[in-house]
Amino acid sequence: MKEKRFHSVRLEGEKCRGCTNCLKRCPTEAIRVRGGRAHIIDERCIDCGECIRVCSYHAKVAVTDPLSSISQFKYKIALPAPSLYGQFSNLKSISQVLGGLKRMGFDEVYEVARGADVVSKAIQERLKDPKLPRPVISSACPAIVRLIQVRFPDLIDHIVDVRQPMEVAAMIARTEFARKHGVDPSEIGCFFISPCPAKVTAIRNPIGHTKSAVNGAISVLEIYGLLSSQLKNTPVDLTLEEASDLGVGWARSGGESMAVSPDNSMSVDGIENCIRVLEEIEDNRLKNLEFFEGAACTGGCVGGPLNFENNYVARSEIRKLTTRDAEPNLNVDAGMMTKYDLYMSGRILPNSAMKLDDDLMEAMRKMEKIEKLYNELPGFDCGSCGSPTCRTFAEDVVQGVATKMDCIHMMKDQLRVMAQQMVDLAKTTRE
C-alpha cells in the first residue's frame, strides 16, 4: 500500500487548460494531461517547481505556510534563506532585512547562511574521507536529491550525508534561543523563509532523517511586500550580521562550491543541465572531480520560483552584499561541529517510480510491448495524447493508463480506414 506523499507543488484544476507547457518541461515525466487537465503523478514529482514557472495560466502553485501560522508558537524565529537578501535593490546592509523581519513579529532571526557556514565545514570534513565515491554530490538542493532518487539511483552513494543549511540553522537557533531566554524548546517555532517548493516539501518529508527541525515554511513572495516596507525604517545594525560572505554566497549557484571546495568543484544550475552532468558522473567521466554542486533552478536558490526578483538581478545584489570579508572565511564555532546532529541519520533510498514492474520478467515483457508500439507511433512528441513524448505514451498504453486512440495521429489513420470501409460498404449494398 503506497502512502500519499506530501507535495508542495499542486495543481489548481479549474485554472488548467490542459495545454502541454508543463507536460514537456517536467524532468521526471511526472505530468499527464487527462480529461482536459493536467495531473501530477505523486510518486514521480520532485517538487522542483519547473511547472510553476512555465504555466501560463498559474494553475500550478506551491503550498506554503501563511505568515499568520507563526502565531501557533509562543516564540517565533525567522530563518531567512540567503537568497532573500537578493530581493531588494540597493540594500545598505543585510542587517536591514534581519531587523525588518523582527519588526514583522519574529522574536529572533537566525540566518540560514550561518547554517550554510556550518554545513560547508561539515562537508569539508566528509571530503577528507577518500573512500567516498567521487565526485561527492551536494545534498543542499532537495529537488536534485529527489531527482537522483528517481532518475539516478546508482548515484545515491555520492550524495554527502550532511543536512541542509536550514535544518542546521533551525537546530542551532532553537537551542541558543532556549538557553538565552530560559524557555522550553517546544515553545519555539522556527520558520524558514523559502525561495522554493522543494524546501517546503523537504520540511514535511525530510530526506535522510525523520523529523525536520523547521516548523514551517513561508514563501519569500508572501512576506515580500510587508518586509520591503519595513526596510526604510530599519536602521543598519552590523552586529546582527553573523554569517560570512561564503555562507551568504550559497544563495547563488557556485556559492556552495566556493565555500566547500574552491579548488576542485563544479557547480551546475538548471535542472536539465544537472541531468546532463549527472549522466556523465554515472559514466564515470568526472572521476577526478572532488565536489559537484547541482541546483535545480537557474542561478541557484536566487532562481527559486517563490522569489520576487528575477535571478540575474538577485544574483548581482548578492554579489554586492558579499564583499564584506577581506579574506573568505567560514564563520563556525568549533563547538557547533560536535554539539549538533549535522549528519543525516538515515539512508537516502532509491525511488522506483520509473520502474515498469516489480518483477523483472514482467518488466521485460512490458518493455517489448512498448518498443513495438513505439515503432508504430509518429515520433512527433507533440503531447496531444496527454503524455510528454511518444515513448512515454507507449509506456502509458502498456501500463494501461492510456489507449492507442488517445494518439490523434493513430486516430486519424484509423478514421481513414473506417471511412474507406464505409465507402466500400455503401458501394456493395447499393441496389
Partner 1 sequence: MAVLLEKNFPVEAGAFTTAGEASTTIKRTLKQLGIGPEVLRRVSVACYEVELNLVIHSRGGTLTLLVDPEKVTLISKDVGPGIPDIEKAMTEGFSTASDEARTLGFGAGMGLPNMKRNASEFDIQSEVGVGTTITMSFALK
**b/e burial code for range 136-162 (CB count within 10 A of at least 16 → b):** bbbbbbbbbbbbbbbbbbebbebbbbb
Cβ neighbours, 10 Å, residue 294: 28
Residue with grid cell 541542509, as numbered in its chain: 164
Q: Which residue, 112 or 159, is less far from partner 1 as judged by CB?
A: 159
Q: 274 and 299 in contact (C-beta within 8 Å)?
A: no
Can you read off the three cell numbers belonging to residue 34?
487527462
Distance between CA atoms of residues 11 and 60, nearest Å: 5
Q: Phi then psi for 188, rounded to 5 degrees?
A: -100, 125
Please state the closest distance from residue 411 (CB atom) to partner 1, in A.
27
Q: List the alpha helices (DSSP H) in 261-325.
A: 271-282, 311-321
Among residue numbers 154 through 193, which ones bind partner 1 (CB under 8 A)? Answer: 154-157
Told to check if 147 binds partner 1 by CB under 8 A, we report no
Nearest alpha carbon to residue 290 among 158, 162, 165, 164 = 158
Name the one range near partner 1 by CB under 8 A: 46-54, 217-225, 227-235, 367-375: 367-375
Phi-psi bin for 359: left (phi > 0), alpha (psi -120 to 50), beta? beta
Candidates 1, 326, 334, 361: give the one binding partner 1 (CB under 8 A): 361
Strand partners, 293: 267
Distance between CA atoms of residues 139 and 126, nearest Å: 12
Candidates 310, 352, 414, 421: give the one binding partner 1 (CB under 8 A): 352
Told to check if 425 binds partner 1 by CB under 8 A, we report no
Told to check if 365 binds partner 1 by CB under 8 A, we report yes
Please state the closest distance from residue 394 (CB atom) to partner 1, in A.
12
Please state the closest distance from residue 397 (CB atom) to partner 1, in A.
15
Told to check if 236 binds partner 1 by CB under 8 A, we report no
Q: What is the CA radius of gyration of the chain?
A: 25
Candidates 38, 348, 356, 402: give the one binding partner 1 (CB under 8 A): 356
**Non-local CB neighbours of 430 within 8 Å, separated by 6+ positions:** none
Candidates 68, 284, 338, 428: give the one binding partner 1 (CB under 8 A): 284
DSSP for 42-54 reads TTT-----HHHHH
Candidates 58, 92, 285, 347: give the one binding partner 1 (CB under 8 A): 285
Residue with grid cell 508543463, as numbered in its chain: 22
Nearest alpha carbon to residue 248 among 320, 352, 181 = 320
Told to check if 18 binds partner 1 by CB under 8 A, we report no
Told to check if 272 binds partner 1 by CB under 8 A, we report no
Told to check if 279 binds partner 1 by CB under 8 A, we report yes
Name the one range near partner 1 by CB under 8 A: 10-18, 203-211, 278-286, 417-425: 278-286
Name the one range near partner 1 by CB under 8 A: 22-30, 112-120, 149-157, 254-262: 149-157
The count of residues interacting with partner 1 (CB under 8 A) is 27
Q: Where does residue 422 rank: exposed (0-12), middle (13-18), buried (19+ CB within 10 A)? A: exposed
Told to check if 350 binds partner 1 by CB under 8 A, we report yes
Candidates 367, 382, 401, 411: give the one binding partner 1 (CB under 8 A): 367
Please state the closest distance from residue 360 (CB atom) to partner 1, in A.
6
Q: Which residue, 43 or 282, is less far from partner 1 as judged by CB?
A: 282
Can you read off the three cell numbers belonging to residue 47?
517538487
Told to check if 151 binds partner 1 by CB under 8 A, we report yes
Q: Which residue, 361 or 426, is less far from partner 1 as judged by CB?
A: 361
Candidates 238, 337, 363, 418: give the one binding partner 1 (CB under 8 A): 363
Told to check if 44 binds partner 1 by CB under 8 A, we report no
Please state the closest distance from residue 3 (CB atom) to partner 1, in A.
20
Nearest alpha carbon to residue 196 among 295, 267, 113, 115 = 295
Among residue numbers 87 through 146, which ones bind partner 1 (CB under 8 A)? Answer: none
Residue with grid cell 495543481, as numbered in its chain: 11
Please state the closest distance from residue 364 (CB atom) to partner 1, in A.
4
Residue type, 280: E
Nearest alpha carbon to residue 164 among 144, 148, 133, 141 = 141
Q: Which residue, 314 or 373, is less far from partner 1 as judged by CB?
A: 373
Nearest alpha carbon to residue 204 among 72, 10, 7 = 7
Told to check if 364 binds partner 1 by CB under 8 A, we report yes
Name the one range near partner 1 by CB under 8 A: 100-108, 194-202, 205-213, 365-373: 365-373
Q: Which residues bind partner 1 (CB under 8 A)?
A: 151, 153-157, 279, 282-285, 350, 352, 354-358, 360-361, 363-365, 367-368, 371, 395
